[in-house]
Structure 1
Amino acid sequence: MHNGEHTDSKKTAPWRRSPNLTAFAAAGVPLLPLAGPVDDLGRLAGSGPLVPAALAGGAVAAVAGTMRRRSSGKGHRRHRSGVSLGPRARAYLRRRPGPGYASRWTLYKDYGRLSARRVAKFGRKSLTWQDRWFGPWEEYASFHGRAQGWIHRWGVYSTFEDLTLMIAPPQEGKSQKAAASLVEAPGPVVATSIRGDLIRDTAGLREQVGNVTIFNPEGVGSYASTMRWNPVAGCQDITVAVRRAGHMVEASENKGLSEASFWADWGCMTLAALMHAAALMGGSMRQVYTWILDKEESDHPLYILDEHAGSDLRSLETLRYFQTSMDQRTRSGVETTLTRTLRFMLHPGVVEMLHPVAGPGFDFESFLLSRDTVYLVSSAGAGNVTAPIFSAFLAEMKATSWELGNKYTNRDGQQVSRLDPPLTIEGDELGNTAPIAVDEWASWCAGSGIRINMYFQTWARIVERWGREGADALWGSAKCKIIGAGVTEERLLAKVAQLNGKIDVRDPDEVSYDQRGNPVRRPRWGEVDATPAGDIRKIPPGKALVLRSTAAAPTLITLVQLRKRRYFKQWVKAGRPAAGLSPVEPREIPRPRPDLAVRPEVVDQVPAAPDELGARRARRTPEAAPLLPLPTRPGPPPLPQHGTPASSGPAPGPASPPPLPELPSAVPDHPMWGAGKRGDAPPAGVPLLPLPTQPAPAESLPTEAAADGSAEGEPSAVPPGWSPWQRRAGGDR
């Protein structure tokens, strides 16, 4: 060996060794009878059927060799140099996207029905082995789409224990995939949506296997609600009240508040106590909302909790502390949290749907044991006020399924710990419609018979709704991750590229020369991302990148679409039959009154009598009115006579006015008519000035006993307007 030579230059790498031709030839032996009759196999000469048999065996050997080679290490290596098709072009041609992606063997082993059958053996004990191997796959697997292949396109499935997370921009197949999964679900289904097209495309198909119920409090889309649900019903149990109140407060937006978690805790306890009190009196959310806003009614729940023998004492203490002992700042924060949580009470349609009606309400247990469907429809964006209601509804569904799973017995009488068939939750835009704590539910839903499929538009929305830690927990709990076309978020692309790992890429060989001048080649290898961010961004429309946690490599699929399924085409051809769906009735909106823009002056008015016309008095003329009697007052004591002691003589008679003092005869000069006597008439042409009149003092009013001897209490004979000081102009006193 010469110096400078590479010792391993002539060794063949393990991924480049020749396949075992003996094994490949043996694999083609079972297909030899397909080439011709069996007795023709004895012919060893000539150009008979032996040639087609050899061709068939060679084809099988080639296919087996390709699958074996691509499932080995060489399938994860590629050459950097040379002209080759990119993943986008390969996806259009239905070819394998390239090294780093799942091979056909991986598709069969990790993405096929084989793994779903293994899980169904323990997850769905009601299915026999004939049902699992020869029955419909909808009973034990979830279908997502088709992978590469020209003649046979491999199907990509996941098990019922896989939590599926799909992220894709708008109009990239999320709704179509959710609709297909909804129709093909083997058990009860709860679907959330922000539009009515999901109901339009799936309600008629789901009616063929069970009842369809729509809960649309806001009247979104074209289909009205067919059910009502009272969140207070069942809150006689304080644990139910705490569970529903907690999910309602958690689903509300607490932005803008400092120490939001503290307010949320106190808001949960206070709301649970109020709902508990309302349930004990047979009320609804109307009473709860009134108790929060009306200060005069705030003591009513205290009275209920104090008087009812079955009330929870802790709730009474919590509510009493909130209303009497809590400081003003803390109480204001809790009230703000409660009013923000219950803002759906401002929507008249929502209030009507939450009002109890006669008869039993929604039966969660009967629903979970059927194949019925419930649609939860709400608006999108900031106008969505039903998120707390839907979160409490799903929380109650989860709690009931947990209780049923622990005591459920299947058709064979076996005790199982999960629902069979499982409950399917199709959460389209789950962060907007019903923001439940999926990051916590994922830890036990798979073992309780609950299958959750979530669909989001961006990774940022997940982080905003559940926080960074909650989003990471949700990402880690999702066993099946689907990334749609058109994703441009750098954080999401980096997470996917890092998760898919790296592959070896062969660079151009390093060439050196030995002492004799002979070239010596040294292979060089480097590591790159199996799915670079640029390749993920360039995924063609209608396709998606799928990665299962138990798979060795990701794969690229064509997403399933409901409109292309055979049963959907048959249903459309039959005229889209769907019974039990009623349109949304338009709500009457009051018209504006421009005259109310100017506020009139407030005038105190006496309220009219109930019968205003009958209570009116008849018109009377002033002349017909009777004279009013003079007021009766006790007169002054009698004056003594001149020269007679007051104590002597007979009893004095009626009092008489005292004599007026004698006025002087001369009067001062008047500025108008000069000097003259008081009794003289004024000069001609000079008008008379009215003399000032003063009310008579109380002592000078006539007494009850008149001068003519009239009885006490009778009207006096004194003419109206009489005064002892009366005088006339131009005359003597």
Structure 2
Amino acid sequence: MSSNEFDTSRDVKTGLGGAALLAGSIGIGQLPYDSVDSIYQPVAHVVDTALTVGGVAGGLLVAGSVAHGFYGNSRTAHRRRVFHAPGWANRHSFADHLGAKAIRRAGQQTRPSLANRADRRAAKATNSDFGQFLGKAVTGFRPARGSEVFADFQKSLLFVAPPGAGKTALMLHSLMDAPGSVLATSTKPDIYTLTSELRAELGPVYLFNPQNVGGLLSTFGWDPLIGCEHYQVAQDRATALVKGTRAITAMQEASWGEKCVEIMSKYLMAARLWGQDLRAVAYWLAHPDDETAVRILQQFPSHVPDGWAASLEAEMRSSADRMKGSIWSLARGSVSFMSNPVIAQACTKGAGESFNVKEFALSRGTLYLLGDSSDETIAPLLAALTDYVYRDFKALAQVQPGERLDPPFGFFLDEVTKITPVPLADWAADIRSHGGYITAITQSFAQIEDRWGKEGLAAIKGLFSKVILPGIQNLQDLEELSKLVGTREVDAVSEGETDSASGRSKSRNRSKRKELILPPEDIRMLPPMHALIMINESKAVVTKFKHGQIRAKKMTEGLRAAKAKARPDDPGTVNAQVTA
């Protein structure tokens, strides 16, 4: 018999006992008081009191057993049995990986400017200076349960959940508290409106919103041709643009994608050398027989690699119509956003020359990139800008003490598969050694596979620590996550009866069996504002967190009130950033 069966048996016996007591007290209570007086007059008062107490006690027992039965079968009770059981992150997990002491110890690598100092500044450092806050543990045993959970800045995080599950609500805490420079992408304007004033207290704030999402205007423009007079920059920029298209995943031949990058890099260099902007590239791609780019490359032999002009000319005159058509179609798709005049204005000649990534990375600033998820033609542009920032961040880190940035640089990539499809696996494997970290957000693992394929999905799963929120529906994903959380040993009791010549005998056997710590259905039905945290090296933990949007609003209101109090005669100053 299992422990659940014992619980049921106990409840039934308790209920029957209570009912019997209630019935007995009521039955005695029906006797005439005259009879009681004549037989037991000396103790009538005691009996009367006992009748009352017996009836109440019986009723309480019945009510209690019924309530216990309902509670025992409730979702809350089930959750407690699952959450408050062995197998979850324990005090050792917090000491080694998840707790405040663990992230401060990791600060020897991630925050040497604080961890290796004993001055006033180091003493004032908070836990958020050493890692991302992920809520308070609601699983396991105390003291682990109730402890704050963190991921140090050597960890890259992957948030997975459907819309409305609380991904942004949790991520906003890390964005607001990030001690260093941040690049944050989103399809919603609230990430900017909620946090920009708070981030402005730390450093400069920039907004690149080429589609004017939410009616917000960009604070700067960016020309994708910047630096493309150099071979490596042209190659990197072309790669980011081409791989930012969804069509790249549907290419029948991988070599065609590589050929497309090669052609695009030549066009980018030609346009830059001739003093043009991306509109020229879009025009040449729409007219594959136009050899203007070839003639430009021929005029700059000192800048152009040997053979580039000739190979571009050969590609243009190729008779392989099917391959040529596919390659040029993919290339046109990588700059199709230029057909939108609003976007074109944000990224044409001269735009963004004053935006210096290296200065930005050292200023503890914040760069917001907004894109409309319903128009994925914007993805190549935002991916290219994000790639541009990432590469300059790495170059800057390599000349810093320890070859890393301190404080670390954060990339918060909301809807990463839709608007900033950068090479997540490659970045995650590389970024930690340069003083950076990634928090990527997606609606499902299927979106990752659709964008980067099965191999890409497997690589991302292996490199990223996972933050799973309620509502995942894919059974295969749920079962895989459940297995990752692991199993625990539990006592199993079996009872049996056997008939023999000497009569019937009963037996009870005890054994050990394994059960899932968190079954698939419990992952799907996590409570609101809860997250399953799986830091790669640690046992899993479920956390509860507060709504980041509410915290951001309260902090912004407090900031405005403080500024208004400091400058009572200049109320316009308080809201200058909001209305700008």
TM tier, smaller: 0.7 to 0.9
**How far apart, in 2, do the equivalents of 1:443 and 1:574 lie?**
38
Q: Per-residue CA shift, 1:314-335, capped at 9, x if unaligned?
A: 3213211112345333222221
Give secondary structure in 1 for the equivalent of 2:206.
strand
Shift of 1:122: 1.9
State which of 563, 576, 579 in structure 1 corresponds to 2:576.
579
> Percent of counterpart pairs with the same letter?
26
Cross-structure match for 1:119: 106
Does residue 1:235 correspond to 2:222, yes or no?
Answer: no
Shift of 1:200: 0.9
Shift of 1:522: 3.4
**How far apart, in 2, do the equivalents of 1:521 and 1:198 lie?**
60
Query: Normalising to structure 1: TM-score of the pair?
Result: 0.63
Does residue 1:183 correspond to 2:163, yes or no?
Answer: no
Does residue 1:139 correspond to 2:138, yes or no?
Answer: no
**How far apart, in 2, do the equivalents of 1:87 and 1:549 lie?**
32
Does residue 1:300 correspond to 2:300, yes or no?
Answer: no
Equivalent positions of 1:83-98 (< 5 A) are: 89=76, 96-98=83-85
**How far apart, in 1, do the equivalents of 2:353 and 2:335 lie?**
24
Cross-structure match for 2:207: 214
**How far apart, in 1, do the equivalents of 2:94 and 2:71 lie?**
23
Cross-structure match for 2:469: 484
Give secondary structure in 2 for the equivalent of 1:416.
helix
Cross-structure match for 1:589: none
Does residue 1:153 correspond to 2:169, yes or no?
Answer: no
State which of 544, 550, 555 in structure 1 corresponds to 2:537.
550
Q: Is the 8 A contact 2:270 2:293 kept in 1?
A: yes
Change (3 A) 1:399 1:255: closer
Q: Per-residue CA shift, 1:29-54, capped at 9, x if unaligned?
A: xxxxxxxxxxxxxxxxxxxxxxxxxx
Q: Is the 8 A contact 1:224 1:581 kept in 2?
A: no
State which of 303, 310, 325 in structure 2 corresponds to 1:311.
303
Give secondary structure in 1 for the equivalent of 2:354.
coil
Give secondary structure in 1 for the equivalent of 2:224.
coil
**How far apart, in 2, do the equivalents of 1:198 and 1:359 lie?**
22
Change (3 A) 1:428 1:556: same
Give secondary structure in 1 for the equivalent of 2:112.
coil
Cross-structure match for 1:321: 314
Q: Per-residue CA shift, 1:279-310, capped at 9, x if unaligned?
A: 111211011112222467x2221221111242
Shift of 1:530: 1.3
Shift of 1:227: 0.8
Q: Per-residue CA shift, 1:360-416, capped at 9, x if unaligned?
A: 3321111111111111100013x22211111111212221122212211xxxxxx31
Change (3 A) 1:445 1:582: same
State which of 365, 383, 394 in structure 2 corresponds to 1:402.
394
Q: Is the 8 A contact 1:511 1:521 kept in 2?
A: yes
Q: Per-residue CA shift, 1:57-93, capped at 9, x if unaligned?
A: xxxxxxxxxxxxxxxxxxxxxxxxx999689526987
Cross-structure match for 2:14: none
Shift of 1:477: 0.5
State which of 424, 427, 435 in structure 2 corresponds to 1:441.
427
Equivalent positions of 1:365-404 (< 5 A) are: 365-381=358-374, 383-404=375-396
Shift of 1:580: 3.9
**How far apart, in 1, do the equivalents of 2:232 and 2:75 lie?**
54
Shift of 1:533: 0.6
**Where does the alignment leave 5 or more consecutive residues of structure 2 unmatched?**
1-68, 562-573
Structure 1 residue identity aligned to 2:272: A
State which of 523, 527, 532 in structure 1 corresponds to 2:514.
527
Equivalent positions of 1:449-464 (< 5 A) are: 449-464=435-450
Q: Is the 8 A contact 1:251 1:391 kept in 2?
A: yes
Q: Is the 8 A contact 2:529 2:547 kept in 1?
A: no
Structure 1 residue identity aligned to 2:126: P
Give secondary structure in 2 for the equivalent of 1:385.
helix
Does residue 1:247 correspond to 2:232, yes or no?
Answer: no
Change (3 A) 1:359 1:442: closer
Shift of 1:459: 1.6
Shift of 1:493: 0.3
Structure 2 residue identity aligned to 1:118: R
**How far apart, in 2, do the equivalents of 1:116 and 1:161 lie?**
9
**How far apart, in 1, do the equivalents of 2:130 and 2:492 lie?**
45
Shift of 1:273: 0.2
Cross-structure match for 2:27: none
Cross-structure match for 2:414: 428
Change (3 A) 1:228 1:323: same
Change (3 A) 1:572 1:95: farther
Cross-structure match for 1:225: 218
Q: Is the 8 A contact 2:398 2:404 kept in 1?
A: yes
Q: Is the 8 A contact 1:173 1:559 kept in 2?
A: no
Give secondary structure in 2 for the equivalent of 1:398.
helix
Equivalent positions of 1:270-309 (< 5 A) are: 270-294=263-287, 298-309=290-301
Shift of 1:263: 2.4
Q: Is the 8 A contact 1:235 1:276 kept in 2?
A: yes
Shift of 1:135: 2.2
**Where does the alignment leave 5 or more consecutive residues of structure 1 unmatched?**
1-81, 409-414, 584-733
Give secondary structure in 2 for the equivalent of 1:386.
helix
Equivalent positions of 1:157-176 (< 5 A) are: 157-176=150-169
Q: Is the 8 A contact 1:143 1:155 kept in 2?
A: yes
Change (3 A) 1:358 1:265: closer
Structure 1 residue identity aligned to 2:544: T
Shift of 1:350: 0.8
Shift of 1:549: 1.7
Shift of 1:429: 0.6
Cross-structure match for 2:487: 502
Runs ≥4 residues deviating over 6 A? 91-95, 149-152, 511-520
Cross-structure match for 2:402: 416
Give secondary structure in 1 for the equivalent of 2:113.
coil
Does residue 1:466 correspond to 2:459, yes or no?
Answer: no
Larger displacement relative to structure 2 (128-137 or 460-469): 128-137
Structure with greater contact order relative to length (CA < 8 Å, sep ≥ 6): 2
**How far apart, in 2, do the equivalents of 1:165 and 1:482 lie?**
6
Equivalent positions of 1:669-684 (< 5 A) are: none
Structure 2 residue identity aligned to 1:457: Q
Shift of 1:159: 0.6
**How far apart, in 2, do the equivalents of 1:569 and 1:441 lie?**
34
**How far apart, in 1, do the equivalents of 2:383 and 2:297 lie?**
27
Change (3 A) 1:223 1:115: same
Q: Is the 8 A contact 2:333 2:377 kept in 1?
A: no
**How far apart, in 2, do the equivalents of 1:357 and 1:581 lie?**
27
Cross-structure match for 1:692: none
Change (3 A) 1:467 1:578: farther
Change (3 A) 1:579 1:90: farther
Query: Normalising to structure 2: TM-score of the pair?
Result: 0.78
Aligned length: 491
Give secondary structure in 2 for the equivalent of 1:350.
helix
Structure number with bigger Rg: 1
Q: Is the 8 A contact 1:269 1:318 kept in 2?
A: no
Does residue 1:356 correspond to 2:342, yes or no?
Answer: no
Q: Is the 8 A contact 2:260 2:328 kept in 1?
A: yes
Structure 2 residue identity aligned to 1:339: R
Task: Give the CA RMSD over aligned residues.
Answer: 3.0
